[in-house]
Structure 1
Amino acid sequence: MKNYTYPIDLSWSTDEITSVLHFFSKIEAAYETRVDTTELLVAYDHFKQIVPGKAQEKQLDREFEKLSGYSTYQAVKKAKELGKGWLSLGK
């Protein structure tokens, strides 16, 4: 995993920040190695409990992609398309 900051909302609780960071780490794994699609989608479900709105989700995706080069939207989309299994989006 690379070394950069994550887009977080400082109004979130510690548990919420932990869940969002866990989701971002699953996205990183999808691009850098591989990730179990079920684990990624469970992490996404927890993320959506914290960030239920599409606008904020898109904003966080843009910020995360700008910082890391990885798209949360594309990773979740591919995981849903794949169903159960392993997802690897590495180049």
Structure 2
Amino acid sequence: MEYQYPIDYTWSTAEIVDVIHFFECIEKAYEKGIDRDELLAAYRRFKEIVPGKAEEKTIFNQFEEASGYASYQAVREIRHSRAGDRIKVSAQKKKLR
């Protein structure tokens, strides 16, 4: 990994760890696939830390700019899947840097 995760330093250590875990789940969704329920749980925790849509969008954009992974695409796949499904975001949906 050659990039930094978008972090708000007003978050607690536990919140930072949970946000990093969420972005690691996004990476898994692109690289090898991830269980839908694992990604959903990580996203729900992320939304507890970042409840506002505007702030979420800003953080997603920062992460995409740094990594090339579009968090929105992975989260959208949650809505189009069912419990127990495996989510694999296609490389075509990854933004090329």
- The answer on whether the counterparts of 1:65 and 1:71 sit within 8 Å (CA) in structure 2 is yes
Distance apart, 1:90 and its partner CA: 3.7
Moved over 4 A (4+): none
**C-alpha distance in 1, partners of 2:89/2:73?**
9
In the superposition, the TM-score normalised over structure 1's length comes to: 0.94
The total of aligned residue pairs comes to: 90
CA offset digits 1:42-78 (Å, max 9, x no partner): 0000000000000100000000000111111110111
**C-alpha distance in 1, partners of 2:67/2:34?**
17
Unaligned 5+ runs, structure 1: none
**Higher relative contact order (Cα pairs below 8 Å, separated by 6+ residues):** 1
When the two chains are superposed, the root-mean-square deviation of aligned CA atoms in Å is 0.9
Structure 2 partner of 1:8: 7
Distance apart, 1:86 and its partner CA: 0.5
Residue type of the partner of 1:83?
R
Q: Percent identity?
A: 49
**C-alpha distance in 1, partners of 2:72/2:89?**
12
The yes-or-no answer on 1:23 pairing with 2:22 is: yes
Structure 1 partner of 2:89: 89
